[in-house]
Amino acid sequence: QQQVKQSPQSLIVQKGGISIINCAYENTAFDYFPWYQQFPGKGPALLIAIRPDVSEKKEGRFTISFNKSAKQFSLHIMDSQPGDSATYFCAASISNAGNMLTFGGGTRLMVKP
Amino acid sequence: DVKVTQSSRYLVKRTGEKVFLECVQDMDHENMFWYRQDPGLGLRLIYFSYDVKMKEKGDIPEGYSVSREKKERFSLILESASTNQTSMYLCATGRREQYFGPGTRLTVT
């Protein structure tokens, strides 16, 4: 049973559009929510992360929105570019439980030129 | 820059073979992790280690074992490879932020 559910599994967006990937979690003890980006042939790399005491975090074109009451968080990629084409994973962890990450199933994003 | 290297990018093994996957990190991190990545299932934790000679089971440890004799090196062992262990294997290190190696794509025939 996946503790972090991610949708959609795949996403196609036109260049310049907004890409939105959603995640939902069940364990209210999670206190750290990172997003990882993975290009073909590479391991995942941390893209952006949020803690539950804030509702939004923005870094450049990437924004995490966090809804604690709904136990949901999402990644928004503004002005999507072909170079953003990758697989994105949301994750969650608990600080006093070894910081082990629980990952969502991943979203394969393709940005068409 | 953190560097995490994995011994092989691609590996083909036969059913029943013993398989060793090695991971080396250069950041002096205590924590090291082994995941497998399968389409639609994301990354699932197999084992992790928080110190030399220490190991803890993750979510899917069945069919795997690990070894951590030195701080920088964490090995994943498939005692008797089976076809359902065909997957991408990723090693990671770090604390809150994890740094991943490039992965080993293992095919068991």
Query: Which tokens in the block code for residue B35?
Result: 């995941």
User: Could you tell me which residues are beta bridge partners of residue A19?
Assistant: A77
- State whether residue B84 is helix, strand or coil: helix
Q: Note whether B43 contacts A103, CB cutoff 8 Å.
A: yes
Collect all residues of chain A within an 8 Å Cβ-Cβ radius of residue B41: 2, 105
Report the distance separating Cα A58 and Cα A106, nearest Å: 21
Report the distance separating Cα A106 and Cα A21, nearest Å: 9
Q: Give residue-wise pLDDT tens across range A25-70.
A: 999 999 999 999 999 989 999 999 999 899 999 999 999 999 999 9
DSSP character for A55?
A: S
Q: Note whether A44 contacts B101, CB cutoff 8 Å.
A: no
Q: Note whether B42 contacts A45, CB cutoff 8 Å.
A: no
Does any CB of chain B come closer than 8 Å to the CB of residue A107? no
With beta carbons less than 8 A apart as the criterion, state whether B76 and B13 touch.
Answer: no
Question: Quick one: which of B40, B26, B23 has its CA closest to B90?
Answer: B23
Q: Give residue-wise pLDDT tens across range A9-23.
A: 999 999 999 999 999
Q: Note whether B42 contacts A98, CB cutoff 8 Å.
A: no
- State whether residue B47 is helix, strand or coil: strand
Among the partner-chain residues A46, A49, A106, the one whose CB lies closest to the CB of B42 is A106
Report the distance separating Cα B80 and Cα B42, nearest Å: 24
Å between B10 CA and nearest CA of chain A: 11
Q: What is the pLDDT of residue A1?
A: 54
- Report the chain B residue with the minimal C-alpha distance to residue A99: B96
Among the partner-chain residues B39, B98, B101, the one whose CB lies closest to the CB of A101 is B98
Query: Which tokens in the block code for residue A50?
Result: 């949020």
With beta carbons less than 8 A apart as the criterion, state whether A108 and A9 touch.
Answer: yes
Q: Determine the residue type at B17.
A: E
- State whether residue B80 is helix, strand or coil: coil
Does any CB of chain A come closer than 8 Å to the CB of residue B48? yes
The model's confidence at residue A94, banded by pLDDT at 50, 70 and 90, is confident
Å between B60 CA and nearest CA of chain A: 12
The overall average pLDDT reported for chain B is 94
Q: Give residue-wise pLDDT tens across range B21-35.
A: 999 999 899 999 999
Å between B82 CA and nearest CA of chain A: 23
Q: Give residue-wise pLDDT tens across range B48-75.
A: 999 998 999 999 999 999 999 999 999 9
